[in-house]
Chains A and B, each alone.
Chain A
Amino acid sequence: MKTTVKINLSGQIFDLDNDAYQALKDYLDAISQRFRDMEEGAEIISDIESRIAELFQSKISEKKEVITIEDVNDVITIMGQPEDYLEEESVNEESGKSYSKSRKSKKYYRDGDNAILGGVCSGLGAYFGIENWLMRLLWVIFFFATGGGPLFILYIVLWIAVPKAVTAAEKLEMRGEKVTVSNIEKTVKEEYETVKENVKEGYEKVKTSKELKKTGNVIDEIFHVIGQIVLVFLKIILVIIGFAFIVSGLAVLFALSVAVFFRDSILSTEIFGAPIQSFNEFFGILGDPTSMTLISIALFFAIVIPLIALIYAGIKMMFRFKANDKMIGLTAFVLWILSVVFLVTMAAFEGWNFNAYGRSSTNHNLDTFSSDTINIRIVSDPGIEGFNNDWYFSYDNSWTMISTEDRLYGKIDLDTAPGKFDDYELSIRKNSQGRDRAQASINAGRLDFEWKLDENTLILDPYFSLEKPNKWRSPGTKVTIMVPPGKYIRLDNNTRYFLRNVETVEDIWDRKLAGEVWQMTEDGLVSVD
């Protein structure tokens, strides 16, 4: 007694002995192994299967319903082992005279024959059918446009990941047709034809099979056709996504490099309200050069690694090349994690510099002064590079900074208060932040503020300043004029944008105080009228 297995071969049902089934399965596996990587592989396999079904059909009769191992061996002898026609296939590929269109299997390889460094550019040139020097020129332009670093890394990544074209077949695969409108049209047409043919073939098979009532096969065919259509769409979508990846990756790299490396660039970055022209400068204000360099490097990796991965993924989607990129991907990932961890640590460390508040106050008795009224005026032209009028109008004084070659400048706050003595007084309160209270007070003491008394007029600088390389620790300076109650103060028009929280009896908005004369009372300023 023997058990049998029921199989469906090309839409026909056969009963096979168990050993016969095993032998047939091994044989068909070997065949599909041989052909599955080829473009027309599926079709060849199905042709061979249907021929085997035909041969089986001749082996069975009403008396003999089951296919035996002898039958299978007979059929295999007739059909031949895949190795028996293997060498012809290899000849076919080696000679490069394959009928299958070489353009379809076009792949991106590095071109070792025309390489200057790694053949990355010449490989791309070969792929697009562009002259090598033009490809290199493009690469060099992008290299400088993105500040050098990112594209250098991308080049190294491609050098390692993309295989070099070694065999004649690979060299043929590497060389593509020129990218022209008519070629693109041709590609689309060919993809369309493939789908159409598959649909037609599937439909006719469905039609003929229907008459034979082999429903299992019909459903298989329908799914096959749907699969083919989906595959083509996926391919097209993949290329579009890949292209988008490359373009967006390069654009972000370009924008970042402009922001980082070029002062007065088209993308001027307004960080403190006033223009601080580059990130470099921004970092220079915040911390010491060594740790800021380290942070910059870590920041570079943290930003650029994902971008390069994006561009690389895009290139891979568009060009479908084989790559040994596992190691380099893992390395990049680890480097990225390290960078992020380092960044967080350093940010916490640097942030500690803003832990405590401190201040440094001085009072100046203006006793040389004898009138009942004091005029307050701000130096109208501060004479600082990078200064613009917006600076005056800014409300949030603690974020209004100008950075020049050797100093940082911040906007002062101006206030008035009833004095405790008979003389006018000038109170200057500087404040800053620091690692601890003492350090914060020292930082505050480093702020400079200039003023002078010219007869009845007190002339104030609009800014306080900090000599570099002292760092920005959220500094501020509040200048308060102490007016003895009953005496007068005249605020010049140009003090308008510096007055802040001035106490008045009638609760008048700070900016309306400028340009008028006021009398001091215990409760604040009152209008003279």
Chain B
Amino acid sequence: MYYKFSTRNADKMNVENAKAQMRKGILEYCILSILSNNDAYASDIIKELKEARLIVVEGTLYPLLTRQKNAGLLSYRWEESTQGPPRKYYTITDIGHSFLNDLHQSWNELVSAIDMLNKKETK
């Protein structure tokens, strides 16, 4: 069905779509990457992503976490909190690890591909 999008001028919506899709893919990649180092609360993940300026609003993260959890990439357990309600403590699963490896690989491929193209253009 995608040929529909490529006909005539690529209008603004498609650019937005492409950007959002890219950002979403990278976000998922980053979440897995953060969790591969340490188990974390949602708020920890948010903090790291905010520091890296990958997200602006926190609400973005929750649907992604739930989806990844449902897809079997993540699991969680409930942890007591000194302040406030019990919180979900996320862990990456084995499936998540192998998925992350795939993402690492394709990320590196993409980076080198884009590097190569950019070098050609600047020549």
Binding site for B on A (CB under 8 A): 10-12, 31, 35, 40, 43-44, 47-48, 50-51, 53-54, 57-58, 77-82, 84-85, 87-89, 91-92, 94-95, 98-100, 167-168, 171, 204-205, 208-209, 211-212
Contact = CB atoms under 8 A, between A and B. Distances in A.
B63 to A, nearest CB: 5
B17 A35 contact: no
A43 B64 CA distance: 12
Interface in B61-111: 62-63, 65-68, 70-71, 78, 80-81, 83-88
Nearest 4 pairs of A and B residues by beta carbon: A80-B57, A99-B71, A168-B1, A208-B86
A47 B65 CA distance: 10
Contacts of B86: 205, 208-209, 212
Given A51-B58, A88-B24, A98-B67, 5 more contacts: A50-B84, A85-B59, A95-B21, A99-B71, A209-B85
Contacts of B43: 51, 54
B59 A48 contact: yes
Contacts of B16: 87
A51 B60 contact: no
A89 B16 CA distance: 13
Contact of B57 (A35, A58, A85, A94): A85
B21 A40 contact: no
Given A43-B66, A99-B68, A57 B60 contact: no
Contact of B84 (A53, A87, A89): A53
Nearest to B2: A168
B54 interface: no
B8 to A, nearest CB: 18
B70 A100 contact: yes
Contact of A205 (B57, B63, B70, B78): B78
Contacts of B17: 87, 91, 94
Contacts of A168: 1
B52 interface: no
B84 A92 contact: no
B20 interface: yes
Chain B at the A interface: mostly helix, strand, loop or mixed? helix
B121 to A, nearest CB: 28
A44 B70 contact: no
Contacts of A99: 67-68, 70-71
Contact of B80 (A12, A82, A208): A208
Contacts of A77: 57
Given A80-B59, A80-B60, A85-B63, A51 B71 contact: no
B85 A212 contact: yes
A117 to B, nearest CB: 24
B42 interface: yes
Given A31-B59, A79-B59, A99-B71, A54 B20 contact: no
A312 to B, nearest CB: 30
A204 B78 CA distance: 7
Given A84-B59, A91-B24, A204-B78, A50 B87 contact: yes
Given A99-B67, A209-B86, A85 B60 contact: yes
A51 B24 contact: no
A80 B70 CA distance: 23
A48 B20 CA distance: 21
B21 A91 contact: yes
